[in-house]
Amino acid sequence: MIVFNIWSTLQWYLRPFIKWFLRKTTRLCELQRICYGEKPGASRTCAIEKSLLLSRTPCVREIVSYLDSVVYDRRFIPENFREILDPSVSVIMRAKNIKPSLHGPFITSFRNCLEQIWSYKSLVDEVEELRRSQFDSNNPEHEEKLLRLWTLLVPDVKLESRVTKQWQLIGFQGDDPKTDFRGMGVLGLENLLYFASEYPQASSHVLSHSLHPKYGYTYAIVGINITSMAYYLLQDGSAKTYMFNAKQHMPNVNLFHRFYCYLFYEFDKMWIEAKPENIMEFSIIFKKFESAIRTELADPATVFRINIEIDTI
User: Which is nearest to 170 in space by CA: 143, 187, 199, 193?
Assistant: 193
Judge contact between 195 and 205, C-beta under 8 A.
no
CA distance 309 to 131: 31
Instruction: Write the pLDDT tens digit of every residue in 120-145.
Output: 999 999 999 999 999 999 999 999 99
In the DSSP assignment, the letter for residue 156 is: T
Judge contact between 116 and 49, C-beta under 8 A.
no
Backbone angles phi, psi at 140, to 5 degrees: -55, -35
For all residues of the chain together, what is the average pLDDT?
91
Amino acid at 214: K
pLDDT interval class at 102 (50, 70, 90): confident
Judge contact between 150 and 159, C-beta under 8 A.
yes
Residue 249 has pLDDT above 90, yes or no: no
Residue 4 has pLDDT above 60, yes or no: no
CA distance 229 to 223: 10
Residue 282, Cβ density class (10 Å: 0-12 exposed, 13-18 middle, ≥19 buried): middle
CA distance 237 to 234: 5
In the DSSP assignment, the letter for residue 133 is: S
What's the pLDDT at 7? 47
Residue percentage of the chain with pLDDT more than 90: 83
